[in-house]
Amino acid sequence: MGTRTEKKLSITKDWHLSKVQQVADTIRKEIVKGGLKRDDQLPSINDFSRTYSVARDTVEKAYQILKDERYIVSIKGRGYFVKGIPAKKLRVLLVMNKISAYKKIVYNSFVKTLGDKAVVDLQIHHYRLDILKDIVETRMNQYDHFVIMPHFTHDTDPRKVLALLKSIPSGKLTILDKKVTGLDNPVEVYQDFENDIFEALISQPELINKYDNLVVILRSDEFHPREIIKGIRRFCRKYKKSFTVASGAEDLELHPATLYIETSESDLAHLMKKAKERRFKLAKDIGIISFNETVLKDLLQVTVVTTNFDKMGEAAAITLLNRYPQRTKVPFNFIKRKTV
């Protein structure tokens, strides 16, 4: 570290500020102006107190503020030293389509990976483009970066989605959870919904081929990506299996030799209850695959296909910090358990 500074400070006089804030403000301004340079040693708490006729407790609290703000650092047995002007924290707005257990994992991983490099705020657009438009337009100048999940109702015009996303400078935008066609030099961390489910199914021929029929349950109020249907239909065409789409499991009649692929825990509960009532044996008479891993599905030993949501949040944070155009596909896994 550097030598002890001999610079005489002129304590800020501002009745709007407490004495602690005045001392912290004085040192902070000297660091910003360059009067105090990196590695300069500050007076000890006792020396500062005597030199400037300030209570020792006041100096100690002021130094702690500057430590918290990363302007100075303390080294045990040696004293306090100037660290420099702290790097500006990025202001990031994360905009999701909804709150769910999976989205919470993404959020927590994203915030954890960014650490103290950013302040993250969260907004929800509820699958509505008009809400996202209002969020973006009213906050454009408030944030350094926008991270947006572009999932909308199925009747949303993709041209309007693209126009809104293009209104955000490319260096300020990360697309999360799915790709958007038409963006210039995009930063995307995405699931490939069609190919992910297709590849997951063909990776397990010995499990899937014992079923003649596949039924995918996509609730109409959830607005799941249509690419899921495309991927499962591709698989059924390739292996010559019948394929149907159901909007919920409540009124669904179960049939043997059928594999049910569901996307909500409520449908999972209905399927397992109906199978028990019909005395169907799971993985023999019928099969169940659930989208997205949870602790409950692990405990119930339900087979799942799942994105790694923890990796999604981590990758989004890393690409944001790297600040260069790239596409990152999130890992997708088939976890075999006792329902297929």
Asked if residue 86 has pLDDT above 70, the reply is: yes
Predicted pLDDT at 70: 83
pLDDT range class, residue 117, cuts 50, 70, 90: confident
Mean pLDDT of 90-106: 94
Asked if residue 4 has pLDDT above 70, the reply is: no
d(CA 233, CA 6): 76
Q: Which residues in 97-124 are b (16+ Cβ under 10 Å) and which e?
A: beeeebbebbbebbbebbeeebebeebb
**pLDDT tens by residue, 160-177:** 999 999 999 878 999 999
* 289 or 100, which is more confident: 289
Asked if residue 34 has pLDDT above 90, the reply is: no
Predicted pLDDT at 219: 87
Predicted pLDDT at 5: 59
Predicted pLDDT at 88: 79
* Domains observed in the chain: 19-82 (1.10.10.10), 90-190+309-330 (3.40.50.2300), 194-291 (3.40.50.2300)
Task: Enter the pTM of the model.
Answer: 0.74
| Nearest C-alpha neighbor of 186 from the set 332, 320, 321 | 320
Predicted pLDDT at 332: 96
Strands 258-262 and 213-217 come out as parallel
In this structure, is the dihedral angle defined by the CA atoms of residues 56, 59, 65 and 71, taken in order, positive or negative? negative
pLDDT range class, residue 2, cuts 50, 70, 90: low
Arithmetic mean of pLDDT over the chain: 92
